[in-house]
Amino acid sequence: MPTAYLLLGSNLGDRFALLQEAVRHLTAVAGPIEALSHFYETAAWGLEDQPAFLNQAVQLRTSLPPEQLLDACLATEQLAGRQRLVRWGARTLDVDILLYDNLILDTPRLQVPHPRLPERRFALVPLTEIGAEVMHPTLRCTVAELLTACTDALEVHQVAEDYPT
């Protein structure tokens, strides 16, 4: 089964609970989770006048083809009450497909690898924790090398070892 790397993010509501529920739902609909990063908090990227984000990277095995995995990610967002009102706006949950094996895909619905991954420290830091040696299929460098080269100045802070009880 293919391995996919996802980034979960939330900056509205109970962010920890929303990410925890997203992991449960993704396990049920997309496949088993093989690795989870710690939680990281970052100021908003793109549209900066909003609450800080809590992010977590997820590695999962999936039998779903990429566009069906996208549908599972979108369904997970909807279950969390996601509303798409403003691009890069505040949200209860965001689930992005960062990498899907060595696949390179560019369709109107989905681009893999995620086209802005190399410029987003908030995605690269948690992804490096669980997949530092994974190769970016188009740039031909590891995720750790992408992080080293990233010019994004937003600070990314680990905030918790585990889900709060």
The residues annotated with a catalytic role in the active site are 82, 91, 94, 96
DSSP string, the chain: --EEEEEEEE-SS-HHHHHHHHHHHHHHHT--EEEE--EEEE--SSS-SSPPEEEEEEEEE--S-HHHHHHHHHHHHHHTT----STT---S-EEEEEEETT--EE-SS-EES-TTGGG-HHHHHHHHHHHTTPBPTTT-SBHHHHHHH------EEEEESS---
Handedness of CA 70, 71, 72, 74 (dihedral sign): positive
Spatial contact of 149 and 159, defined as CB atoms under 8 Å apart: no
